Structure formats: structure tokens, C-alpha cells
Amino acid sequence: MQILFVGDVMLGRLVNNVLPNENFKYVWGNTIEIIKKADFSLLNLECAISSKGKEWKKTFKVFHFRANPDAIKVLNSAGIDYVALANNHILDYDVEGLVDTIDLLDKYNISHSGAGKDLKNATRPAFIEKKIKKRQDKHKKLNVKKYENIKDSIRIGLVSLTDNQPEWEANPNSPGVNYIPLTLEQNMYSGMLENSILEAKKQSDLVIVSSHVGPHFREMPSNIYVNFAHKIIDFGADIYWGHSNHIPQGIEIYKKGNNQKIILYDCGDFIDDYATDPNYRNDLSFIFLLNFHPEKNLKTSNSSNNQSNMILKNCTIELIPTKIRNFRVNSIPLNDGDIDLIINRMAKRCLCLGTNYYIDEKKKRIQISL
């Protein structure tokens, strides 16, 4: 099975202008087939999808991103399973834009978390579930007995948070985002986050925390971000999935006793209309594919904690280089010099975090094994 992660997807402003005439698949380029083949596809939605609301003016904000309601069909066309909403653009068009976005996602059965009509909804985990495909040998019939104690499906719990826009923090009686400060000094935030993760853990086989935190264009996470990610894993998460930085940061395999957890410090930009910095090259990133084999390991009687450890056992992370051009993302051709540029940069960033990797020179992909 595969879990596919990408970073920020911004469908507003100039990207929104390429969607008329129902050209909803355009922005995905040739990555759409990779996305649709994955069992679970996850992204951070960096805009409101709505025709309602007015630009946020209660506090100063430079950019306001909103896509027309039809842009929901962009997500639907690629079969996106889940979007994170805790970020610094989901309320760009105030509460009306947020609520309308949530209603559209619900209408199209796209799971989401991280923002809601009140604090309870903003902090509540989302859950996505898929059937496990039973393997069948080429020359033999499916061995039913072999699989009779294997779980039929995988259920993932997803918590989404941001340290951006504290003025957008959801309250018990008002809409907003799941705001969590990086320091976690106040017991209220630390306890709230831990409770959300534990709630997800009780009801799923694997817990992923989406984290939209920090400033832009940092090649490596500073100690405060490393400590924050480690704390989230210590609370019970299995995978930390970061975005917000505009360029990808390295991957850490965080050891918890005899188990290994995954920290994707930042997945960079995936779709946007942002100006490209010639040094940081924010037009370059990756599709992050987690490949795992639950049919080999998962038993119906295991606890959720053991299940997550078994899911991540012997899994691999595959990084497919991507480039944004003309408001469209594509995997980078093998003869494009940018493919070596982003691979070499990412390899160094992983190595600085103590993560070993393998570069497949034929396919031009990075592979990391647990």
C-alpha cells in the first residue's frame, strides 16, 4: 500500500485563472496518475475554495488566496483523500470562506481536519480508511487461510495544526484553526494536542500529524522545530508531516525504543503561482511516497500501538522530484539538470539529520528504508 504526501497546494489567484472550461486536471500535470494510484493521498490546502466572504482585514495580511467553488473538482479529479486546513490562508476570506470550503469538502467526501466551526471541530481528528489488497501469487489461487487473521483494512487518523495566525485560533463558540504554539509551554495547548493525538490513536492503525509551522526558506529545521516534531511523536504520532517552508527539508527517522517513526520536516510547495527564488528554487520539490505491506504483518488481534509499529516496519520512503511551471506540477524529466540539483540538496539535508538514503540513478529518485 502507499501513502502519498505532498506539501502546499494553492489553487487561488493565478492558479485559479487556469481552471475555466472545466480544465480541472491541468494543474496536476503528469503527477495525477501517481496520485491516483496511491491508496491514500494527502495535501495541505493553502487557500479557501469559495465565492463567499470578504478579504480578512481585522489584522494586517499581505496575501489573500481564494479559488472559485469549481476548484473543488481539481481535488476530486485526482482522487484526493484528505486535506489539511490548519494554515495561514484558510481564513483569508474570513469565516464565511472557511465554512463554505468545509461544506464543499464534505459534499465531495474529501476528509479534512485542522479548522472548523468551533474549537471541538478544529481539533478533532479526521479518519480515512482503505481496504487491504490481498496478494495473490501468479501461479496460485489466493490462500484464504494465510490471510484469515489479517485485518481487512487500514485506518489512518489525521490531526492538523498550525502556529501561524494566532488571531485565527478557534474557540469553543467561534470558528477558526487548530492553533498550537511551538513552545508548548502552556499546559492548555500541550494537553489539547496530546488529547487529539490520543483520540486519533484509539480509533486508527496509524496516526499522522500535519504541521504548518515556521517561517519560509530554511534549508534545515532549527532546534525548536526539531524539538516540536519530537514532542509530537512522543505524544503518540507515527508520522510528522510538515509544510509551510516553501522548500523541502530533510527526513528524520526518529527512534522510539525499538520502533522507528517518520518525520517529514517540510514537503515544500506542490502547486502555486509564487515567484521562484533563484537560490532557494521553491519551484522544486517532491512527491513523498510511503510504501508499506500490511498484508504481511497486521493481525486482527494487535493493539493500535503495535499495529502502527508493524505498518512502519520494513517500509520505504520514495521521493519523486517535481517542478512547478505555468501553474502546473510535473515530475522532472530525467534529462533536466534540475533533477540532480533537488536530489543532491535533499540528500544532504537528510544526511544532516542522520538519515541514510539511496539514490536510484536510473529512475532519479531518493529511497529511504526503515
pLDDT at 151: 74
- Whether the model clears a pTM of 0.85, i.e. scores above it, the answer is yes
Q: Are 142 and 134 in contact (CB under 8 A)?
A: yes
Q: CATH number for the domain including 345? A: 3.60.21
* pLDDT > 90 in the chain, percent: 84
pLDDT in tens, 130-156: 998 765 545 455 454 444 556 789 999
DSSP collapsed to 3 states, 136-172: CCCCCCCCHHHHCCECCEEEEEEEEEECCCHHHECEC
**Full residue range of the structural domain in which residue 161 is found:** 2-369
- Phi, psi for residue 179 in degrees, rounded to 5: -85, 125
Per-residue model confidence as pLDDT tens digits over 113-124: 999 999 999 999
Q: Any alpha helices (H) in the chain, and if so which ranges?
A: 13-16, 32-37, 72-77, 94-107, 119-123, 144-147, 187-202, 223-235, 294-297, 304-312, 338-352
pLDDT band at 173 (very low <50, low <70, confident <90, very high): very high
What tens digit of pLDDT does each residue of 218-257 get?
Answer: 999 999 999 999 999 999 999 999 999 999 999 999 998 8
**pLDDT tens string 9-35:** 999 999 999 998 888 999 999 999 999
Least confident of 33-42, 78-87, 182-191, 195-204: 182-191
Residue 306 is predicted with a pLDDT of 65
Average pLDDT score over residue span 84-109:
98
Q: Look over the chain and give the mean of its residue pLDDT values, rounded to a whole number.
A: 93
At residue 211, φ and ψ (nearest 5 deg) are: -130, 110
Domain count, the chain: 1
Chain Cα centroid distance, residue 201? 18
